[in-house]
């Protein structure tokens, strides 16, 4: 991935799942990729609902978590916009994010881009450029 220079990566991958997150040094923005094989085949007609459950499971415990309905793009990718509140020093600030689900063969790929306001608006074009240039090798084995 073409992540901005100077961002720090954290690898929380485990057996059967790749999970890497990059954070801006000041902690105002983040990018993460999560690749895994679901425990069972998910029909296309249910993928948006399953994705909503996954996002709630990943981020739903954050303060003031709110999630918009999943949107299926013309490419078949599914995007969910969500917000929460984060503490920066003694201030509470709104955090905005987009999570995108892509199916690659038997794998699900979740790309999440987020930032505190107003940084999200400033970075949105960069996030979309990164997202549109991500190529996942669908034949890759996740150990």
Query: How much is the pTM?
Result: 0.86
The domains of the chain, with CATH numbers, are 8-133 (3.40.1000.10)
Q: Which tens digits make up the pLDDT trace of 35-79?
A: 998 888 898 889 999 999 999 999 999 999 999 999 999 988 999
The mean per-residue pLDDT over the stretch 108-114 comes to 93
- For the cut 60, the answer to whether the pLDDT of residue 143 exceeds it is no
Q: What are phi and psi of 119, to 5 degrees?
A: -60, -35
The mean per-residue pLDDT over the stretch 70-96 comes to 91
What percent helix, strand, coil does the chain show, rounded to 5?
20, 40, 35
Q: List the structure tokens of 1.
A: 């991935």
45: left (phi > 0), else alpha (psi -120 to 50), else beta?
A: alpha
CB-based contacts of 121, cutoff 8 Å, min separation 6: none
Peptide bond into 118 cis (omega under 30): yes
Q: Do 70 and 78 touch, CB atoms closer than 8 A?
A: yes
- Distance, in Å, from the CA atom of 38 to the CA atom of 26, rounded to the nearest integer, reads 34
């Amino acid at each position: 991935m073409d992540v901005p220079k100077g961002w720090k990566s954290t690898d929380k991958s485990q057996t059967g799942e790749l999970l890497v997150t990059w954070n801006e040094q000041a902690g105002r923005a983040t990018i993460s990729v999560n690749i895994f094989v679901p425990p069972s085949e998910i029909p296309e007609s249910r993928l948006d609902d399953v994705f909503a459950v996954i996002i709630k499971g990943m981020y739903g415990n954050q303060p003031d978590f709110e999630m918009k309905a999943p949107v299926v793009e013309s490419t078949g990718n599914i995007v969910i916009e969500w917000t929460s509140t984060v503490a920066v020093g003694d201030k509470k600030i709104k955090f905005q994010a987009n999570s995108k689900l892509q199916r690659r063969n038997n794998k699900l790929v979740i790309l999440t881009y987020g930032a505190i306001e107003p940084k999200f608006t400033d970075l949105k074009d960069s996030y979309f450029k990164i997202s549109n240039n991500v190529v996942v090798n669908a034949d890759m084995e996740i150990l």
